[in-house]
Amino acid sequence: MKITKYGGLIGCCCLLLCACASSKYIVEKNPRHDNPVDEIRWLKERTQELRNTECQITLFEKEGKSYYSVYRPTPEAFDKNTTVVYDQEGKICLTFGGLMPPQRRAAVNAFFKGAQNKGVIWECKLREEKNDKAGDD
């Protein structure tokens, strides 16, 4: 009877591993424990939406408040990369990206002046594909 019980558990684990391995994205959190992504509801919901998109969430602190910068690159179109900065409540404070006019660039610089970059706290990136052609000459 225990074999059947553990067999089901092992089967579920294998199924979960296969499902995760088939995704072309890898999600990394830093720190792994006590991460704001796990503790703040709106941020957790946002990461669920971003799970299949290459992006980074960086924590900034300024004047005693936390801000979360979500950067989303656009492959082969650097002028379309976007960054959205949210405040602690999840309200958008700033949106920018790509080629910016001087006034917009000044607004972005003013926002980040004095802000402390606490680092990337959540990242979703493409899995590296193995190059099987290494031996072909």
Q: What is the mean pLDDT of the chain?
A: 79
114, 62 Cβ separation under 8 angstroms = yes
d(CA 118, CA 106): 22
Whether this prediction's pTM lies above 0.85 is answered by no
97, 84 Cβ separation under 8 angstroms = no
Over residues 79-114, the pLDDT tens digits come to 778 999 999 999 999 999 888 889 999 999 999 999
